[in-house]
Structure 1
Amino acid sequence: MAHPTQLNLQNASSPLMEELTYFHDHTLMITVSISVFVLYMMMMLVITYLTDKFVLDAQKVEVVWTIIPAITLVFIALPSLRTLYLMDEADDPHLTVKTMGHQWYWAYEYSDYLDLEFEAYMVPTRELIYGQYRLLEADHRVLIPINTPIRMLISADDVLHSWTVPALGIKMDAVPGRLNQAAFIAVRPGVFFGQCSEICGANHSFMPIVVEVAPLEYFEVWSLLLVQDN
């Protein structure tokens, strides 16, 4: 099992996830500023005794408190739209990996590279070795080369699933009869974990996703060995 200090969210490993993190921080700072300002105004309304019963309207104040929220929404909307379009971009991928969600495991195909196919099941708790994560380790990892544009084709065979790897900024629904597309680039080597994020049945919690990012030479050797084993 993993050490307790390791049980935290993984750092961003793709430019897309870094953009999502920046947008989160940007929006959070705006939200905190608004909350502090509103709290200050509420406190001032409670503790002040200055009133004027002859004030019936204040058009300038009304104009200001209409324009300022509109400008604030623009500051949130512009980076949001930019990040949204970046998430949909899949320009000239070097490798395509197709994943199919089943009850309850994932099947993978490297259809444009040596025609690789395998299935990934969760490693039972009793078979875990020291350092592996309970409910997150799979018997087959999705291996991809580093700094390579990857296109994921995602679908399902039975019910709705969701292929999600937070560190890579990927979360795409797997819909039966439909082929969804997502793209990413992993910029550092490592092992990144995810799970099915759609409530897909009794064993929904037992569909882990493990993506390993390695140098291209390691990927080529791994793919050749996997083809020989099959």
Structure 2
Amino acid sequence: MNTWSMLSLQNSASPMMEHLIFFHDNTLLMITIITIFVLYMMISIMTNKYINLTLLENQNIEMIWTIIPAIFLVFIALPSLQILYMIDESNSPSITIKIMGHQWYWSYEYSDFNSVKFDSFMNKNNTIDSFRLLDVDNRIVLPMKTQIRSIISSSDVIHAWTIPALGIKSDAVPGRLNQMSFMINRPGIFFGQCSEICGMNHSFMPISLESINMNFFIKWINNF
């Protein structure tokens, strides 16, 4: 999870987030190279005393500053399109969970199992071992290394269901179903918050997801 002193992205907990981090680092490296080169050219021009006042055009330079940016754009566009297609891909999910946004809490339903549904409210009583404004009374429990599909909607206004460590975010729109597919590759507890300005208590509807082994997940379902 994020802390106040953290400047980088959260550690990835899904293959999708790993690809997003790689894309971020790749793009940031290109931006750094371009910035250094442009600054060098600006300083060089300002400090150069020998300027050709009769120079009107240079075809070679114009070709260079047209082709090089196009090459950079190709190296940014190709991985970006690949990630976009991966996000929309749905690979035979093993578990489907329905997510409904309310003012200001979340409701969850495991549609593959009978009578497994609950509401998730933010914890009002903070303890030493809890995370303020992030812990909830009922966490989502999902098995790791399993393809999961989430179907998201809302009962009142537009919300957004987001877990940064998994690299997933989807709007919860009234009267519309949005779908996401993801897989968690390690155990742990992952936090998120509504990422849409949905009203007065927008900042008080957190998301808490617990990733566990499949055997423990089956026991949790049986004891629900």
TM-score interval (norm. to shorter) = over 0.9
Task: Give the deviation of 1:129 after TM superposition.
Answer: 2.0
Structure 1: gaps spanning 5 or more residues: none
Structure 2: gaps spanning 5 or more residues: none
- Say whether residues 1:146 and 2:144 are aligned partners: yes
One-letter code aligned to 1:119: D
Quote the residue 2:33 is aligned against: 33
Quote the residue 2:210 is aligned against: 212
Quote the residue 2:73 is aligned against: 73
- Match for residue 170 of structure 1 among 134, 150, 168: 168
Deviation beyond 4 Å, 4+ runs, structure 1: 3-9
1:4-153 mapped onto 2 (5 Å cutoff)? 10-124=10-124, 127-153=125-151
Question: Alignment identity in percent?
Answer: 52
Seen in structure 2, the aligned counterparts of structure 1 residues 115 and 8 have a Cα distance that, compared at 3 Å, is farther
One-letter code aligned to 1:221: K
Task: Give the deviation of 1:9 after TM superposition.
Answer: 5.7
How many corresponding residue pairs?
Answer: 222
Distance 1:211 1:18 in 2: 18
Distance 2:52 2:81 in 1: 45
> In the TM superposition, what whole-angstrom CA distance separates every residue of 1:179-219 from its partner, at most 9, and x where no partner exists?
00001100000000000000000000001000100001111
Report if the CA contact (8 A) 2:150-2:181 is conserved: yes
One-letter code aligned to 2:76: I
TM-score under structure 2 length normalisation: 0.95
> In the TM superposition, what whole-angstrom CA distance separates every residue of 1:137-169 from its partner, at most 9, and x where no partner exists?
010000000100000100000000000000011
Quote the residue 1:184 is aligned against: 182
Seen in structure 2, the aligned counterparts of structure 1 residues 154 and 70 have a Cα distance that, compared at 3 Å, is same
Distance 2:92 2:26 in 1: 30
Task: Give the deviation of 1:50 after TM superposition.
Answer: 1.0
Report if the CA contact (8 A) 1:20-1:83 is conserved: yes
One-letter code aligned to 1:91: N
- Match for residue 158 of structure 2 among 160, 166, 175: 160
The DSSP-based 3-state class of the residue aligned with 1:176 is coil
Seen in structure 2, the aligned counterparts of structure 1 residues 120 and 112 have a Cα distance that, compared at 3 Å, is same
Report if the CA contact (8 A) 2:9-2:21 is conserved: no
Distance 1:219 1:37 in 2: 53
> In the TM superposition, what whole-angstrom CA distance separates every residue of 1:20-53 from its partner, at most 9, and x where no partner exists?
0000000000000000000101111111111111
Distance 1:203 1:89 in 2: 33
